[in-house]
Structure 1
């Protein structure tokens, strides 16, 4: 998953975004749905909003969001107010991997290295997904274009995951 950007989505600005019962922006319905799916998005004015819930506005699709500090959380915010890190953060079912669990995933580390980025295979559970159930992980890539061009077709369907691996705890914490 990634941080949705408003300029990626065309269409009339018909979907309002609300924070604390105050309308803060009008966006396209496609972008509003992307915020809901991805969990957060960047508006054209540079604000980063985090999805809270759906709402109704004159029978139109709208969202309740929270504007978050873009300097502190430049790629969005995960569960537990953790800053998401591209190619480090994953979303998981909390029954499988509790929040903060360090994961060693050698297959993903190799795959990302082939794409041109140095990676040691270490990840951390920084988020949970609304539709993530059981033994499934969502890798935060930060950027939709990067994912679609370089990773989507090469990601393996099944991977080995080593939870709580001591190789990873200090390497991610220092970043």
Structure 2
């Protein structure tokens, strides 16, 4: 179904028609990211249960495209959450260090999107952010987010995936384990 959608998108681009509807997603447009990869811009009608680590948890038929997409969505979510927390409570450690790692994680995943010719999902993570009331709740939110992120990568690592993807998932999981430790120290 996703390959069919990709074919429809290419035909639509060639024909000069960028707006079309396929499956349950309404495609608004195709744009180019900074690294010249195609970015899929979807309407913001995705439920939290279908996004990032939550989506991966609920998906029993994972494809390589699904895994890479859930990964970048979850990294978008972490980056956005930590940005909002720093906007509200100031640039506090460990958020200042971890947000840099989240940006790095997104960059690593972007390379995989390009290599495997997969459209990069639009960052709609701000639709799912709940701002904690205080800094302690922020640390607890960080703990919860990193636990979910680690579980997602553990699930993916049980799948038959290319070695370069496996290496990135291991690195991102290990980074999340470090982030988890840093958040736990602050609770």
Which range, TM-score by smaller chain? Answer: under 0.3
Instruction: Determine which structure has the larger strand proportion and give its number.
Output: 1
Instruction: Determine which structure has the larger helix proportion and give its number.
Output: 2
